[in-house]
A and B are shown apart, each in its own frame.
Chain A
């Protein structure tokens, strides 16, 4: 079966971002960009399913600026077979528009498994997979920590607030990955070289009939309230005293 994996180019997880002085957004000039960590887990899961013989082809799609090619190539270096870049200004697109574009890609590619990260670490929305599920009328296994394909169904163990829940979905199905699903591999140099030769198509949102922009307007972006600087205490006695008499929390 075919698997489609959606990846997003985001600021690297280890970068501490700064808000622009004019409050229009965060400053991403000269900041290291990477594949969204949850999406990397989605790629890894698809590759593992291919190694098991469940999946025969992995198509990776990214929606964003031209530079998102780098993230598609990284996914190919990890084992994806082909790439689709939908070139768009992702500041103009919300999760709904992204889901609509992905719906178009799914209709064109007809994958049985659609893997996404559970959330992007920039907008922290945690919406696209669920929205795509609704648009396709497909089942969704969100926050997946285990995926088992059996015949024309997939069992997904999900991380929920109280523990774990397992659901069974008809294929085609949407799976969004949680951190514990797997440990993504590193791309070996020969695979990085090979990835350069793998096919990569470039499309536009209009190719999938999506011309709208998001109805959510970001009015301003501010830094979070600063915490007052704390103090180092030298002993347990001092700590207990501070908690009892200064902070009055115990």
Chain B
């Protein structure tokens, strides 16, 4: 049947439109390892604003990305080249996501938040997230002035942490594990997560600070390792524009994600090649399920159902990965030669991420009609 085969090609996840933008940022080595010996002790060099050379043996390897920030690059210039554009698209009704990826200690948190010991977001070293707030509210104010009373905005935010496949609300430290749900109009959301209304960048800092502090408390008191958790800060921007009797509502999501250290993901990857051992009780022959799922995965396009869901993080951000959003990934690397292996795997990951394509669609909904 001609028609069936037309549909079957639609059944695989969509990959089309704009590729995900990939940025690489090289952090300076910590003070101890001084740079006096020139390039010695470093495993990479930045060749230009979009190429990087990894000193691998026997042949050095050259990687090309959308943008490469060297050790001298300021927080301000990282924000301008990475996030500015996404915040702007967010104002225009597109969904946007910014991920920070890299091994623990490669500078993810510095890039996204700023210096770890400071809650002060007026600090000149503040990171992408606080700067995104400032810019977003700057754009909103400008838009309001332009459109007058015809246009109004509503911003809300939530801040969650995914640890060990469980979801915790960083804005409500008393809450138990939360669940992901889907809404036919609103997509995927965390059921029961606190949503705080924001009216200024200052309020956003406040929320971010509270959540960040909760994350730290949880990591000490509840034995969660923050290097193994993902933190997702989400801002919903809703604009309403009245044009005669027609109301245009646009809404978009901006997700700012601090991913768990990539070395953890590598662990699970290498473990994937090994045989998983059975523990003391029979129930832990649990890896059997993974084997079976892998068997079903090779099923040749036949109708089937696999009883194991993808991870919480990919489910939550499904839209941002090969979906309907503008997405960029900041791959953070540490240049020290000790980090060679990790750096190589981060760059390889970033290279692969470039192949993921996104399709961004303006989120516009026309309500009401001319009566």
Do A and B actually bind?
Answer: no
